[in-house]
Amino acid sequence: MKILITGARGMLGTTLQQHLHQHELLATDLPELDITDPAKVDGVMQRFVPDLVVHTAAATNVDGCEADPDTAMRVNALGSAIVAAAAGRINARLIALSTDYVFDGSAAHAYHEFDTPAPRSVYGISKLAGETAVRAHCPDHTIVRTAWLYGASGPSFLHTMLKLGSQAGPALKVVHDQCGNPTSTDALASLITRLILHPIPGVIHGSCEGEATWYEFAVAIFKAYNLKRELKPCSTLEFPRPAPRPANSRLDNRVLRLAGIAPMPHWLDALASYISECKLNEERSG
Ligand SMILES: NC(=O)c1ccc[n+]([C@@H]2O[C@H](COP(=O)([O-])OP(=O)(O)OC[C@H]3O[C@@H](n4cnc5c(N)ncnc54)[C@H](OP(=O)(O)O)[C@@H]3O)[C@@H](O)[C@H]2O)c1
CA 47 to ligand 1 centroid distance, Å = 24
Q: What is the pLDDT of residue 149?
A: 98
Q: What is the pLDDT of residues 118-130, one digit of tens each?
A: 999 999 999 999 9
CA 260 to ligand 1 centroid distance, Å = 29
Ligand 1 interacting residues, C-beta cut-off 6 A = 6-7, 9-13, 29-30, 33-36, 56-60, 75, 79, 97, 99, 127, 146-149
Q: What is the pLDDT of residue 279?
A: 86
HSE of 82 in the Cβ direction (CA atoms, 13 Å)? 22
Q: What is the pLDDT of residues 52-71, one digit of tens each?
A: 999 999 999 999 999 999 99
DSSP state of 277: H
The contacts of residue 75 (CB under 8 Å, 6+ apart) are: 35, 36, 57, 58, 59, 126
With a cut of 80, say whether residue 34 has pLDDT above it.
yes
With a cut of 80, say whether residue 74 has pLDDT above it.
yes
Q: What is the pLDDT of the chain when averaged over all its residues?
A: 97
Domain boundaries, given as residue ranges, for the chain: 2-284
CA 61 to ligand 1 centroid distance, Å = 8
With a cut of 80, say whether residue 286 has pLDDT above it.
no
Query: Any bridge partners for residue 51, and if so which?
Result: none
Distances (CA, A) of 81 to 13, 126, 130, 225: 19, 11, 7, 41
Ligand 1 atom at minimum distance from 155 CA: 19
Percent of the chain with pLDDT over 90: 95
The contacts of residue 20 (CB under 8 Å, 6+ apart) are: 3, 5, 54, 189, 193
Average pLDDT over residues 200-218: 98
From atom 33 of ligand 1, which residue's Cα is the shortest distance away?
A: 34
- Of the two residues 279 and 38, the one the predictor is more confident about is 38
Active site annotation includes 123: yes
With a cut of 90, say whether residue 116 has pLDDT above it.
yes
DSSP state of 103: S
> Domain 2-284, what architecture?
3-Layer(aba) Sandwich (3.40)
